[in-house]
Structure 1
């Protein structure tokens, strides 16, 4: 009788195991139904959200003709530099910082009394968007004020001090 009882228990256990492994014929079907959503949707469509402020960045000085990534030939190091441009009335100001939030000249003035071109540079804190933490050169081509001499030999006051343009 114990053999018969053991056989029955083994058969029952096997039947339960097989039943537990059985699934739906549709592999994407769910075993438990999902209750239907009730009430209004709580998602907000983009057009329902208030307008976010656009990214702001410092405004380059009106004298800045172009801003481009990279440095002109001959500029090395990681300090702010000023070099003469192709046109004698242009100055190339090279800054180093974030590629997504470049430092640019925001004010360019000629101080005739001191015989110095003063250039104010922006900072990354003036950006409202996230800035990358890379260190790359950016070149801003500055058109010299009418009363300033040509770029070659010009004394320029930058963030890092005063330099003479080669």
Structure 2
């Protein structure tokens, strides 16, 4: 009598079922990797461009605020000669020393002095609008420049027009104190013309 072989047949069926299950699982894994279409990495790759327009970000470049005062000044050669006027450069007829300095002269307009200073183009030293009289001297004061102001290292002239009190006689030599820059003696002008400049040391 031949022995039955049912156990072997059952084992073969179990093995085939396991192989089929493994194949299905593998196909399912592949399908999940490509769901959504295209390259599976495309879903995770995102742009890293910054939000907003870069041109709207605050600039770190220095502004022109520090130079506004000098850039806004008219040319001294063509500016109106009125009390309180300021200009860059020298007025007509002024012949400044090579080393610079501070100077004063009568303008062609009665009662007005022209005061020239040398300094930074971004921080010009400008005279106050009105002079004072102290004893026999005409005293010119200057506008303070804040200590924390950033100034360029150039050395250029600036001109201020200063009103002188009516009791000062322009027909005689006048001692003019130019702040802490020194004192000059300004000679009288010819009638209807600007006078000669007197200069302190540079």
The answer, yes or no, to whether TM exceeds 0.5 is yes
Q: Give 1 or 2 for the bigger CA radius of gyration.
A: 2
Match of 1:9 in 2: none
The SS at the match of 2:146 is helix
> How much does 1:148 deviate?
3.0
Alignment of 1:26-37 (within 5 A): 35-37=46-48
Match of 1:142 in 2: 162
**Cα root mean square deviation, aligned:** 3.7
Would you say 1:73 and 2:94 are equivalent positions? yes
Cα 1:42–1:87 shift into 2, 3 Å: closer
The SS at the match of 1:105 is coil
Match of 1:85 in 2: 107
Q: TM-score, normalised by structure 2?
A: 0.47
> How much does 1:126 deviate?
5.7
The SS at the match of 1:118 is strand
Report which structure shows greater RCO (CA 8 Å, sep ≥6). Answer: 1
> How much does 1:133 deviate?
1.0
| Structure 2, unaligned runs of 5 or more | 1-44, 70-81, 188-202
| Structure 1, unaligned runs of 5 or more | 1-33
How many pairs does the alignment contain?
123
Would you say 1:102 and 2:124 are equivalent positions? yes
Q: TM-score, normalised by structure 1?
A: 0.56
Cα 1:78–1:44 shift into 2, 3 Å: same
Measure, in 2, the Cα distance between the counterparts of 1:110 and 1:151: 18
Q: In structure 1, which of residues 121, 130, 136 is the aligned counterpart of residue 142 of structure 2?
A: 121
Measure, in 2, the Cα distance between the counterparts of 1:45 and 1:39: 12
Structure 1 or 2: larger helix share?
2
Contact 2:86 2:158 in 1 (8 A): no
Structure 1 or 2: larger strand share?
1
